[in-house]
Amino acid sequence: MLIYTIDMFGTAIFAISGVLLAGRLKMDPFGVTVLASVTAIGGGTIRDMALGATPVFWINDTNYLLVIFITCILTMLIIRRPRRLPWYVLPVSDAIGLAVFVGIGVEKALNYNADPMVAVIMGVITGCGGGIIRDVLAREVPMVLRSEVYATACILGGIVHTSALEFNVQSSTAMLLGVTATLIIRLAAIRWHLSLPTFALNK
């Protein structure tokens, strides 16, 4: 129940990031809803389709859609000036949602008898896929393709999760370890502005 609650929290936070981007691009309410939805559930949808998990999770549980719609309405009504929020609120909340999304993605892939490497990839897709779709629709370079430590945190968290299972750690404990690892790495990247070296060709 705790994981489910945090999952819903992550869905709302990811939806907010979609709404804020839509607001900067001056989209209409339909565009806002589309951008919020693909951000919140896009990664999990791609994961379920890749794993052959039918129907897709949000079709089985429409609470995800309800959370997205409510989040869109409240964000458009309340957060008119996001700069008034403390700078760390959204990044930290996003990190929590990201970590849980990765853990859920890895666990679901393993439940479908996926190879550990595939499970890690499914975790990354769950955590980052929605943001990639959002940025592509907004004609921006996806954040996971830049130097910021984002997808890397997901990969390392997924490796911790699957490695713990190899040492016969209980499934729930392994998931908690993976989620914690992803969260710590992402928070460290936010706090100390950690980034990966970039690849650039000389002109």
Please tell me the pTM assigned to this model.
0.93
113 pLDDT exceeds 70?
yes
Judge contact between 183 and 190, C-beta under 8 A.
Answer: no
| Rounded mean pLDDT, 12-17 | 92
- Phi and psi at residue 34, to the nearest 5°: -65, -50
pLDDT digit string (tens) for 21-74? 899 899 999 999 999 999 999 999 999 999 999 899 999 999 999 999 999 999
| Rounded mean pLDDT, 159-187 | 97
Between CA 159 and CA 148 the distance in angstroms is: 19
Between CA 79 and CA 99 the distance in angstroms is: 25
Q: Is 169 helix (H, G, I), strand (E, B) or coil?
A: coil
State the CB neighbour count (10 A cutoff) for residue 22: 26
82 pLDDT exceeds 60?
no
| Rounded mean pLDDT, 10-15 | 93
Percent of the chain at pLDDT > 70 equals: 97
pLDDT digit string (tens) for 121-141? 999 999 999 999 999 999 988
Handedness of CA 189, 193, 196, 200 (dihedral sign): positive
Mean pLDDT of the chain: 92
Residue whose structure tokens are 């929605």: 130
Judge contact between 160 and 44, C-beta under 8 A.
Answer: no
